[in-house]
Chains A and B, each alone.
Chain A
Amino acid sequence: MSKLDLIDPAVIEQLTAALQAAGVDGIEITHADQSLMIRLANSGKDAVRQVLSDKMGAAGATAFVNAPMAGEFWPSDPSRTSSSGTSAADTVGFLKVGPILLPVKAGPSKRLRQHLVEPATIVGFGDAIAEVEPEA
């Protein structure tokens, strides 16, 4: 069986559809260099998909987090007010495409150093959206 490309939009769509059809709340898949977490809330109507795309440099160096797909960049969840909730500490931002909201993670033992694009900017696949550094 060939290895799934977890940042392929078609794969994300297929997995989401399969979870919805099976009535499953979520799934997490981890490869050596990619992780994908899909959580379905509200009976699957508002899918929250979480990608850990890590193509980062060696530990100890700053690195860039690239957009795993095209989307509108938001540094925080645009559907939440600042007081209603917080994002996971290692989430560097979100990509929004219509009803899809894709959290983008810093990766293992990394933290956000700075965002590289303004909120609401449309970014393409592979665009650098944040700079991260090793956790102290």
Chain B
Amino acid sequence: MQTRQRFDKVLIANRGEIALRVVRACREMGLKTVVVCSEADRNSAYARSADQSVCIGPSAASKSYLNADAILLAARLSGAGAVHPGYGFLSENARFSDAVEKAGLTFIGPDADAIATMGDKIAAKSAMVAAGVPCVPGPDTELPAEPEAIRAIAEEIGYPVIVKAAGGGGGRGMRVVLHEADLLESVALTREEARKAFGTPALYMEKFLQHPRHIEIQVLCDTHGNAVWLGHRDCSMQRRHQKVVEEAPAPGISDALIGPVGAACVAACKQIGYRGVGTFEFLYEDGGFYFIEMNTRLQVEHPVTEETSGVDIVQQQLRVAQGETLSMEQSDVTCVGHAIECRINAEDPATFMPSAGVITALELPVGEGIRVDTHVEAGYKVSPYYDSLIAKLIVHGRDRAEAMQRTRSALASFKLEGIATNLPLLRELFDDHAFAEGQTDIHYLEKWLKMRAVA
């Protein structure tokens, strides 16, 4: 159903490749764009690619990309009718979503209530249990204070268990407990860390899975009660909880196995009245899926789903925000072939220290099935202020073997000089036999790096 446009100008409250990605989607839909930037980014070519760019503050993210007031002033100044938060920064900030809406603008993402619910891990798990989404064994309630009660919960779950901060995320605020003897001290330490880091001492406890894979399901929901899932991704190749390589679909997961999980995610979205795009993250072990969290925003790795499903996820976000009804039903969603994304980071491939400086030469790979999402060019100055992601190499093939081979070729021809990047590490990783076979777990890369360091 076509509805009257709610906005014709979008302010992009982000930077780098995702800002450019949103500009592209807006342009293809005839929407004007405003990019906000910090002093460090004000002379970047990508900022000038928008119809308008507004410098909103100093280089430090806290004074610019995390400064909600400055962003809202820029929206008012530029006449933007909507705000796209991208990923990171304020994208999962319920107060920002609320402030945007209260300013009379459209927040291109879920409402504040949905963000707040999913940001609280206990509330999120409770909502998922209610919707029939499979969760990690453990109560969907806050851990009590009484030592005996804590011991009883751990005993019922079975060791090893993991103690997590309710307000945590991104791999922070959690502790694995292997034996009962370590339980109470671990709980006390995690509670104190949670109080300091997340402002709440609330904890919860779950079964610790020892060799899981990280599988996620992409959903897309409109404001009229319609929702679909766009297939699944495997993001198990991680270092310190940061994804390095992502692929779609997850290798070795049959449609029959994941189909009910995808359907449960859709049901959960409808139940909580979710709008926009979102990602349900699961641990997968021994044929079972266990919900860990929902990301209420666009993911860095959304392109692999775009390549397999043929759906432009950013454009869909914009259409949903305009109030349009989804143009597809679940039966229309078909995923074809295999896609892989490599995150190209400005960092030393051995020490992983960030590498700032000027890119002196850049030649991007080209060819069938190859896409590069990047905001950098020769002469671009990589700033020390922000995340080290400078490009995403996305490769699509008829099957995983073809996608892997194309990725190897693309990595070999990817030339970037002037700063250190993780390209050498990625080239080595794609020659690894076990990775090529598929189905490696979330600990594989860390082990591989240790072995590589010893060799």
Residues of chain A touching chain B, judged by Cβ–Cβ distance below 8 Å, are: 5, 8-10, 13, 69-72, 97-98, 100, 122, 124-127
Q: Which of B54, B63, B70 contacts A122 (CB 8 A)?
A: B54
CA distance A70 to B39 in the complex (A): 12
Contact B42 A97 (CB under 8 A): no
Contact B69 A70 (CB under 8 A): no
Contact B70 A70 (CB under 8 A): yes
Contact A125 B58 (CB under 8 A): yes
Q: Which of B55, B64, B69, B77 contacts A127 (CB 8 A)?
A: B55
Contact A125 B77 (CB under 8 A): no
Given A8-B67, A9-B67, A10-B68: A124 touches B56 (CB 8 Å cut-off)? yes
Q: Which of B54, B67, B69 contacts A124 (CB 8 A)?
A: B54
Q: Any chain A CB within 8 A of the CB of B224?
A: no
Query: A136 → chain B, closest Cβ, in Å?
Result: 34
Q: Which of A97, A125, A127 contacts B76 (CB 8 A)?
A: A97
Which residue of chain B has the shortest Cβ distance to A95 in the bound complex?
A: B77
Contact A126 B55 (CB under 8 A): yes
Task: Find chain B residues with CB under 8 A from A125 CB.
Answer: 39, 55-58, 64, 70
Known: A122-B54, A124-B54, A126-B42. 10 other contacts (CB 8 A): A5-B63, A9-B67, A9-B73, A10-B68, A70-B74, A97-B77, A124-B37, A125-B57, A125-B58, A125-B70
Contact B67 A10 (CB under 8 A): yes
Contact B55 A70 (CB under 8 A): yes
CA distance A60 to B78 in the complex (A): 37
Residues of chain B touching chain A, judged by Cβ–Cβ distance below 8 Å, are: 37, 39, 42, 52-58, 63-64, 67-70, 73-74, 76-78
Contact A124 B73 (CB under 8 A): no
CA distance A97 to B69 in the complex (A): 12
Contact B69 A126 (CB under 8 A): no
Which residue of chain B has the shortest Cβ distance to A96 in the bound complex?
A: B77
CA distance A121 to B27 in the complex (A): 24
Contact A124 B55 (CB under 8 A): yes
Task: Find chain B residues with CB under 8 A from A8 CB.
Answer: 57, 63, 67, 70
CA distance A72 to B55 in the complex (A): 13
Which residue of chain A has the shortest Cβ distance to B42 in the bound complex?
A: A124
CA distance A126 to B67 in the complex (A): 16
Q: Which of A13, A70, A72 contacts B56 (CB 8 A)?
A: A70
Contact A122 B69 (CB under 8 A): no
Task: Find chain B residues with CB under 8 A from A124 CB.
Answer: 37, 42, 53-56
Task: Find chain B residues with CB under 8 A from A5 CB.
Answer: 63
CA distance A13 to B99 in the complex (A): 13
User: What are the 10 closest A-B residue pairs judged by CB atoms, nearest first?
Assistant: A124-B55, A10-B69, A9-B69, A125-B55, A98-B76, A9-B70, A70-B54, A97-B77, A97-B73, A125-B57
Task: Find chain A residues with CB under 8 A from B73 CB.
Answer: 9, 69-71, 97-98, 100
Query: B336 → chain A, closest Cβ, in Å?
Result: 44
Task: Find chain A residues with CB under 8 A from B76 CB.
Answer: 97-98
- Give the one of A5, A70, A71, A72 with max B CB within 10 A: A70
CA distance A97 to B52 in the complex (A): 16
Query: A104 → chain B, closest Cβ, in Å?
Result: 15
Contact B78 A122 (CB under 8 A): yes
Contact B77 A10 (CB under 8 A): no
Q: Supply 16 A–B pairs (Cβ within 8 Å), ascending by A.
A: A8-B57, A8-B67, A8-B70, A9-B73, A10-B67, A10-B70, A70-B56, A70-B73, A70-B74, A70-B77, A71-B77, A98-B76, A98-B77, A100-B73, A125-B58, A126-B42
Task: Find chain B residues with CB under 8 A from A10 CB.
Answer: 67-70
Query: B73 → chain A, closest Cβ, in Å?
Result: 5
Query: A34 → chain B, closest Cβ, in Å?
Result: 13
Task: Find chain A residues with CB under 8 A from B57 CB.
Answer: 8, 69, 125
